[in-house]
Chains A and B, each alone.
Chain A
Amino acid sequence: MTDAARVDGVAIPISEIDRREAQLRAGTAAVALPAPGTGEGRQLRRWLTQLAVTEQVVAAEAARLGLTGERAPAEDDLLPDQTARLELGSVAAGALAQPVGRAVFARVTAGVTVSDAQVRAYYERNPLRFASSGESRGWRPAPVAPALAVVRTAIETHLLGVARRRAFRSWLDRRCAETAELASGFEHPGDPRQPDNVHRH
Chain B
Amino acid sequence: MSESPVGQRVQVRGRIGNLLRFTQIITLWTGVDRVDCHTVIEDFRGSDQLLRLRWPCPVQGALPVSEVGDAVVGRGFGLTHDHSGGSRPEIAVDTAEYPWTLDNPAFGWFGLSSTVRVCAAGQTRAISVVEVVAPGPAGSSVRELLVALARKGVTATCSSAAGPRYGDLAVDSNLPDARIALGGPEENGFTAELLAQADACYAREVERQFCETGTALVWVPADDTLARRWVPGADLRGPRALPVLVVVGGDDAVTALTADLADARIDVEQQVPAGVGPFDPYTVALLNRGIPGFTVDSDGTLHSSLLRSCTGWPSGTWIDPPRRTAPDGSNFQLQHWTDTYDYAVCSGPGDWRDVGLPMRSAEFGSPLRAVVGSGPAAGGLPPWGALLEIEPAGSVALGALKAGGNPLPRGSAEPVDPRADITLRIVETSGSTVDVEIQSGMRAVTSPVRVNLLEEPLAQADAEPLRLHGYEIATVRTRLNMPQVFEGDHAQLGPEAEAAQPLYARYWLHNRGPAPLGGLPAVAHLHPAQLSAAPGAPISLRLTASSDAVDTALHGRVRLIGPPGWAVQPGVLPFVLPPGGYLEAGIELKVPPAATPGLYPVRAELSVTGGDSAPMPVSWRQSVEDVCLISVGGSDDVPVRLLGEPRGVRVRAGGAEQLTVTVGTEACAALAVEAHLISPWGTWEWTGPRAQGAELPARGSATLQFSISPPAWTAPGRWWALVRIAAAGHVVYSPAVDLEVYR
* Residues of chain A at the chain B interface (Cβ within 8 Å): 28-29, 31-35, 38-41, 133, 135-140, 142-143, 198, 200-201
| A32-B311 in contact (CB<8A) | no
B524-552, CB < 8 A from A: 540
The 10 tightest CB contacts between A and B, nearest first, are A34-B313, A40-B313, A137-B586, A139-B585, A32-B319, A200-B173, A133-B584, A140-B584, A32-B317, A31-B323
| A32-B584 in contact (CB<8A) | no
Q: Complex formed: what's the CA distance from A137 to B569 in Å?
A: 8
Q: Which residues from A are CB-within-8-Å of B317?
A: 31-34
Q: Which residues from B are CB-within-8-Å of A29?
A: 319
Contacts A28-B321, A31-B321, A200-B171 given; does A138 touch B585 at CB 8 Å: yes
B299-323, CB < 8 A from A: 311-314, 317-319, 321, 323
Q: Which residues from B are CB-within-8-Å of A41?
A: 313
Q: Complex formed: what's the CA distance from A29 to B313 in Å?
A: 14
B388 interface contact, C-beta 8 A: no
Most chain B CB atoms below 10 A, which of A35, A39, A138, A139:
A139
Contacts A137-B569, A139-B575, A201-B173 given; does A35 touch B311 at CB 8 Å: yes
The smallest beta-carbon distance between A64 and chain B, in angstroms, is 39
Q: Which residues from B are CB-within-8-Å of A38?
A: 311-313
| A138-B313 in contact (CB<8A) | no
Given contacts A40-B312, A139-B573, A139-B575, 13 further A-B pairs with CB under 8 A are: A31-B319, A32-B317, A34-B317, A38-B311, A38-B313, A39-B312, A137-B570, A138-B573, A139-B583, A139-B585, A140-B586, A200-B173, A201-B171
The smallest beta-carbon distance between B494 and chain A, in angstroms, is 36
Q: Which residues from B are CB-within-8-Å of A201?
A: 171, 173
Q: Complex formed: what's the CA distance from A70 to B540 in Å?
A: 38
Q: Complex formed: what's the CA distance from A133 to B549 in Å?
A: 23
Q: Complex formed: what's the CA distance from A39 to B313 in Å?
A: 9
Residue of A nearest to B583 (CB): A139
B587 interface contact, C-beta 8 A: yes
Contacts A34-B312, A38-B313 given; does A140 touch B585 at CB 8 Å: yes
Q: Complex formed: what's the CA distance from A139 to B584 in Å?
A: 6
15 contacts between A and B (CB under 8 A): A31-B321, A33-B317, A35-B313, A38-B312, A39-B312, A41-B313, A135-B586, A137-B585, A137-B587, A138-B585, A139-B583, A139-B584, A200-B171, A200-B173, A201-B171
Q: Which residues from A are CB-within-8-Å of B323?
A: 31
The smallest beta-carbon distance between B625 and chain A, in angstroms, is 18
Interface 1/0 per residue, B570-610 and A, CB below 8 Å:
10010100000011111110000000000000000000000
B278 interface contact, C-beta 8 A: no
The smallest beta-carbon distance between A45 and chain B, in angstroms, is 13
Q: Complex formed: what's the CA distance from A33 to B311 in Å?
A: 12
B465 interface contact, C-beta 8 A: no
Q: Complex formed: what's the CA distance from A200 to B319 in Å?
A: 28
Q: Complex formed: what's the CA distance from A179 to B359 in Å?
A: 62
Q: Which residues from A are CB-within-8-Å of B321?
A: 28, 31
Q: Which residues from A are CB-within-8-Å of B586?
A: 135-138, 140
The smallest beta-carbon distance between B114 and chain A, in angstroms, is 27
Q: Which residues from B are CB-within-8-Å of A34?
A: 312-314, 317
The smallest beta-carbon distance between B232 and chain A, in angstroms, is 16
B99 interface contact, C-beta 8 A: yes
Interface 1/0 per residue, B160-179 and A, CB below 8 Å:
00000000000111000000
Q: Complex formed: what's the CA distance from A139 to B583 in Å?
A: 7
Q: Complex formed: what's the CA distance from A169 to B157 in Å?
A: 39
Residue of B nearest to A201 (CB): B173
Q: Complex formed: what's the CA distance from A133 to B545 in Å?
A: 14
Residue of A nearest to B585 (CB): A139
Number of residues in B with C-beta < 8 Å to the partner?
Answer: 25
Q: Complex formed: what's the CA distance from A41 to B586 in Å?
A: 49
Q: Complex formed: what's the CA distance from A182 to B605 in Å?
A: 56
Interface 1/0 per residue, B281-313 and A, CB below 8 Å:
000000000000000000000000000000111
Q: Which residues from A are CB-within-8-Å of B171?
A: 200-201
B613-652, CB < 8 A from A: none
Most chain B CB atoms below 10 A, which of A38, A143, A200:
A200
The smallest beta-carbon distance between A43 and chain B, in angstroms, is 9
The smallest beta-carbon distance between A174 and chain B, in angstroms, is 28
Residue of A nearest to B558 (CB): A139
Residue of A nearest to B48 (CB): A38
B134-158, CB < 8 A from A: none
Residue of B nearest to A43 (CB): B313
Q: Which residues from B are CB-within-8-Å of A33?
A: 313, 317
B315-340, CB < 8 A from A: 317-319, 321, 323
Q: Which residues from A are CB-within-8-Å of B573?
A: 138-139
Q: Which residues from B are CB-within-8-Å of A35?
A: 311-313
Q: Which residues from A are CB-within-8-Å of B313?
A: 33-35, 38, 40-41
The smallest beta-carbon distance between A16 and chain B, in angstroms, is 23
| A138-B570 in contact (CB<8A) | yes
Q: Which residues from B are CB-within-8-Å of A143?
A: 584
Q: Which residues from A are CB-within-8-Å of B583?
A: 139-140
Q: Complex formed: what's the CA distance from A143 to B575 in Å?
A: 17
The smallest beta-carbon distance between A46 and chain B, in angstroms, is 14
Q: Complex formed: what's the CA distance from A72 to B704 in Å?
A: 55
Residue of B nearest to A137 (CB): B586
Q: Complex formed: what's the CA distance from A133 to B314 in Å?
A: 44
Q: Complex formed: what's the CA distance from A143 to B582 in Å?
A: 10
Q: Which residues from A are CB-within-8-Å of B570?
A: 137-138
Q: Complex formed: what's the CA distance from A32 to B314 in Å?
A: 8
The smallest beta-carbon distance between B672 and chain A, in angstroms, is 25
The smallest beta-carbon distance between B142 and chain A, in angstroms, is 21
Q: Complex formed: what's the CA distance from A31 to B314 in Å?
A: 10
The smallest beta-carbon distance between A129 and chain B, in angstroms, is 15
Q: Complex formed: what's the CA distance from A198 to B99 in Å?
A: 10
Q: Complex formed: what's the CA distance from A39 to B95 in Å?
A: 12
The smallest beta-carbon distance between B283 and chain A, in angstroms, is 30
Q: Which residues from A are CB-within-8-Å of B319?
A: 29, 31-32
B102-152, CB < 8 A from A: none
Most chain A CB atoms below 10 A, which of B313, B569, B583, B587:
B313
Residue of A nearest to B169 (CB): A200
Q: Complex formed: what's the CA distance from A32 to B540 in Å?
A: 38
Q: Which residues from A are CB-within-8-Å of B173?
A: 200-201
Q: Which residues from B are CB-within-8-Å of A200?
A: 171-173
Q: Which residues from A are CB-within-8-Å of B585?
A: 137-140
Q: Which residues from A are CB-within-8-Å of B314?
A: 32, 34
Q: Complex formed: what's the CA distance from A181 to B575 in Å?
A: 63
The smallest beta-carbon distance between A27 and chain B, in angstroms, is 12
Residue of B nearest to A134 (CB): B586
Q: Which residues from B are CB-within-8-Å of A198?
A: 99
Residue of A nearest to B323 (CB): A31
The smallest beta-carbon distance between A58 and chain B, in angstroms, is 29
Q: Which residues from B are CB-within-8-Å of A32?
A: 314, 317-319
B207-247, CB < 8 A from A: none
The smallest beta-carbon distance between B667 and chain A, in angstroms, is 25
Q: Complex formed: what's the CA distance from A35 to B587 in Å?
A: 49
Q: Complex formed: what's the CA distance from A138 to B588 in Å?
A: 9
Q: Which residues from A are CB-within-8-Å of B312?
A: 34-35, 38-40
Q: Which residues from B are CB-within-8-Å of A28?
A: 321
Q: Complex formed: what's the CA distance from A37 to B586 in Å?
A: 55
Q: Complex formed: what's the CA distance from A34 to B569 in Å?
A: 50
Q: Which residues from B are CB-within-8-Å of A137?
A: 569-570, 585-588
Residue of A nearest to B582 (CB): A142
The smallest beta-carbon distance between A184 and chain B, in angstroms, is 17
Most chain B CB atoms below 10 A, which of A33, A35, A143:
A35
Residue of B nearest to A135 (CB): B586
Q: Complex formed: what's the CA distance from A34 to B314 in Å?
A: 7
Residue of B nearest to A29 (CB): B319
The smallest beta-carbon distance between B104 and chain A, in angstroms, is 14
Q: Complex formed: what's the CA distance from A131 to B312 in Å?
A: 48
The smallest beta-carbon distance between A85 and chain B, in angstroms, is 18
The smallest beta-carbon distance between A166 and chain B, in angstroms, is 29
Q: Which residues from A are CB-within-8-Å of B587?
A: 137
